[in-house]
Structure 1
Amino acid sequence: MKQLYTIISLLFLFTYPAWAQQHEIFNQRIRTLQVVGGTNWLSLPVSSLGGEPIHIDFDDMTHDYHRYSYKIEHCDANWNVSASLFESDYMRGFNGNQIIEDVEQSINTNHPYTHYHLAIPNADCQLTMSGNYRLTVYDDNAENEEEGKMFTACWMITEPQPLVKLKLEATSTTDIDIQKTHQQLKMELDHSQLRITHPNQLNIVVLQNGRWDNAVINPKPDYLSAGKMSWQHVRALIFDAGNEYRKFEFLDTDHPTMGIDAIDWDGSDYQVKVMTDSPRPNYVYDEAAKGSFYIRNSDNVENNNTCEYAQIHFTLKAPKQPGDVYLNADWTYGRFLPEYRMEYDEMTKTYHARLFMKQGYYSYQYLMKMEDGSIRLLPSEGNFYQTQNKYNVLVYYRAQSDRTDRLVGYGELK
């Protein structure tokens, strides 16, 4: 028993510098990349071996057909490629030269585009190992591989049956304050089916609303017993509660829908103004989608290739902040890029951003990036214990005979 306690204690002293499950777009032709497990667009892109497929959708902003091929790589818990694996260790079928064949050109849209869809598994490839996966899409017509690299998409695959049991609870009675501005996650993990003899064998990731910028990696448990761990009063699992995500729906080019103030046509683009976001001094319940998005228009028919693209204008009324203010959501892919950074207007005391986006439902929040790289909430957005946050827990395990990490447990608390 003493040896078990020593191993588990050492486990949670390790740090991992590069945790990130983030899609990345390399070519500006690519828009509206979305990765969904089954039909669950409101959650992380997670499925199980033999379960529902992972769906990958994106648009190429031309009507030209491009021969897009894809390559799938298995990654360890730290999202590094599992270099010691052969492809045959984690998949059956072909990899690297298979073509995305589900292609549709847009119909009667102001900006022509071509929609591509890929499902994994498919007739050409089937995954056989749980864990993290990264898919890279290439344009085969490019002169070289680097020039043809279009984007990467990431998802997670769990074991067919969980090898651990997770119990999650979020409370506003925290070790910092009581029903004020924080939430504390409590967890119980039963890992009695696993044989743990080395500190690197188990890795635990905790996410709030699918965000990787404030992910908690390997929080140290405060209670241990044979085959079980418990986190009841762990400071690392106390999160700012924040506020509900904001949202809007751009469904029609003729009249505004939810959250839209005005729609204008300037001769080349639809200019869509989202209602100005004002400071929120009080909590008001709003069932937003925690950063998720769903592509559709008012007809809700053939959404993939009939939805319009438009210039979407965001305005935030707030005093100038000490850091850079960014839009943040699943559709920004967790990245703090210049295109998502808002500019401040001293005259109107407002922040502004303009993005080229497809019709649909979008939820989002504002975050602030400080000079030291840290990410913070905006004070003007409010911070309330009642906020309906979502928490996800990923449990990775590497047996002594394994050459990479498997995803043996997954939990979600809404």
Structure 2
Amino acid sequence: MKHTIIASFLLAFCGTFFSQNIKSIQLRPLGENNFSAIVPLGTVLELSFDDLDNDNKEYQYKIQHMTHDWQPSRLLSSQYIDGFDQNNINTITNSFNTFQNYTHYAVQIPNRNSIITKSGNYLLSVLNDDDEVVFTRRFVLYENEVTVGVNVSRSRNAKALQTQQTVEFVVSHPKLRINNPSQEVHVVILKNENWNETITGLQPTFFQQNVLRYSYNNNTNFWGGNEYLNFDTKIIRNNSLNVVKVERKDIFHHYLYPNDVKTFKTYRYNPDINGQFAIRTLEGSDAATEADYAMMHFTLLSEEPFADKDIYVYGAFNNFEIEEENKLFYNPNTNSYVGNILLKQGFYNYSFVTVDKNNVIDKNEIMGSFFETENEYKVLFYFKAFGALYDRVVGVGMSSFSQNR
């Protein structure tokens, strides 16, 4: 069993050096309010992002098939793509009527040049005209060959009753012959679409005909965490949800209500979108090119700084990564951590995390952890028959704790 909660400090891997002016990266199915890039094979995903240099660069996308543990698979590109694995991004539009100028890029996958034919894990890279990786995103395409039933409950461990949640699941596979689950099957439990929070390396605890059961007391426990904080900037010129002050400078500056560490010590139900964000504006008809950018100012009140820890704003707005831009700095004059991040108009979830000298993220030190927190869990079921060349994703199950209250 492997439980992953890590900080993403490998800047070269993510192309951070080249993406300082790349913002609002989204990889999602078409339609509103769907934030998941884990979709059935054949589903259309749209990649979009903004370049604040506003100079119409030539970007390309590259699609690479990966193993269950995100290593390059043995497949040649011709074995999983009908067409080309690397192509230009041709949908390019400039921002309109905004203080912050930017160029908006978008591409749909699959398209007539790139039709993906195999299920599995995929790494989508965006390259500049020097073939350097600007950023990467993960997506998963799955088949519906098995049924995955998922249940999320309060931890049964007496020491974790108040703070953790347990995920159990059952896989029914009447159409799939599995001879040796320990060698042919891999499962991943994913929390809130955050690939920094997964549990892997699990083996079935019970075997029945065409059924595998995974039921543990501790091995599939996740920290419940807390509900995400939020703000809404769909109106750029005026105060809105959790925005206490707006200033007009070269661009708009939005100051969020200060948060106090003490306020997170008890659980309060607050509906969220599990760390995600949605671009939107009431001041234009097309949010992709008419939504403006605002400098968001964050404040976390603290009587004294955290010893040997750094504080970061955390959320899907930057793929749950730890970067200098989302770091807060302690101001002894105001007894608070402060920082600012340039973000496009929309509705955002975020939280505060600590990072120690070993680059380990602690999501609970500031926000707390509660078994009542609404979290969404997905179980990905990978199958690689003996002698096969790649890991198929043959089923995905989903549940959230709120369904079991």
Q: Does TM, scored on the shorter chain, surpass 0.5?
A: yes
Q: Is the 8 A contact 1:38 1:47 kept in 2?
A: no
Aligned 8 A contact 2:281 2:291 in 1: yes
Asked whether the equivalents of residues 246 and 253 of structure 2 are also in contact (C-alpha less than 8 Å), the reply is yes
Q: Give 1:301 deviation, angstroms.
A: 1.6
1:271 maps to 253
Which of the numbers 224, 229, 245 marks the counterpart of 2:212? 229
Aligned-pair distance for 1:24? 5.3
Aligned to 2:374, the other structure's residue is in SS state coil
Partner of 2:47: 56
Matched position secondary structure for 1:213? strand
8 Å Cα contact 1:168-1:188 kept in structure 2: yes
What is the CA-CA distance between 1:139 and the residue it aligns to?
2.7
2:292: which partner in 1? 308
Check whether the contact 1:343–1:352 (CA below 8 A) recurs between aligned residues: yes
Give the aligned partner of residue 331 of structure 2.
Answer: 345
Which residue does the alignment assign to 1:28? 20
The alpha-carbon deviation at position 99 of structure 1 amounts to 1.9
Shift of 1:312: 0.8
CA contact (8 A) 1:277 1:317 kept: yes
Aligned residues: 390
- 1:376 CA displacement: 1.8
Distance in 1 between the 2:233 and 2:7 partners? 33
Query: What's the counterpart of residue 180 of structure 2?
Result: 197
- Please show how residues 237-316 of structure 1 align to structure 2 within 5 Å: 237-266=220-249, 268-278=250-260, 279-299=263-283, 301-316=285-300
Contact kept in structure 2, 1:247 and 1:363, CA below 8 Å: yes
1:128 aligned partner? 117
User: Percent identity over the alignment?
Assistant: 25
Post-superposition shift, 1:321?
2.6
> What residue is the counterpart of 2:375 in the other structure?
389
RMSD: 2.5
Correspondence for 1:216 among 199, 202, 221: 199
**Offset, 1:41:** 4.5
SS at match of 1:235: coil
Pairing of 1:155-174 with structure 2 (within 5 A): 155-159=139-143, 162-174=144-156
Q: Which moved more, 1:170-179 or 1:123-132?
A: 170-179
Distance in 1 of aligned mates of 2:7 and 2:80: 21
Alpha-carbon contact 1:137-1:150 (below 8 Å) kept: yes
The Cα shift of 1:300 comes to: 5.5
Preserved contact between residue 37 and residue 46 of structure 1 (Cα < 8 Å): no
In the TM superposition, structure 1's runs of 4+ consecutive aligned residues that sit over 6 Å from their partners are: 14-20
Q: Could you tell me how far apart the structure 1 residues matched to 2:5 and 2:180 are?
A: 23
2:50 counterpart letter in structure 1: D
Mean CA deviation greater in 200-209 or 37-46 = 37-46
Distance in 1 (CA, whole Å) between partners of 2:147 and 2:14 is 29
2:164 is equivalent to residue 182 of structure 1: yes
Q: Is the Cα–Cα contact under 8 Å of residues 237 and 252 in structure 2 kept in the other structure?
A: no
Q: In structure 1, how many angstroms separate the alpha carbons of the residues matched to 2:5 and 2:178?
A: 26
Q: Which amino acid aligns with 2:118?
A: M
Unaligned runs of 5+ in 1: 1-11
* Amino acid in structure 2 at the alignment position of 1:34: Q
Which is worse superposed, 59-68 or 72-81?
59-68
Q: Map Cα deviations across residues 365-412 of structure 1 (whole Å, 9 max, x no partner).
A: 122222333322344423222111111111111122321211111122
Normalised by the length of structure 2, the TM-score is 0.89
Contact 1:206 1:216 in 2 (8 A): yes
Report the Cα offset of residue 74 of structure 1. Answer: 0.9
Paired letter, 1:269 = I
SS at match of 2:264: coil
Please state how far the C-alpha of 1:177 moved relative to its aligned partner: 4.6
- Aligned with 2:75 (options 85, 89, 113): 85
Report the secondary structure of 1:258's partner residue.
coil
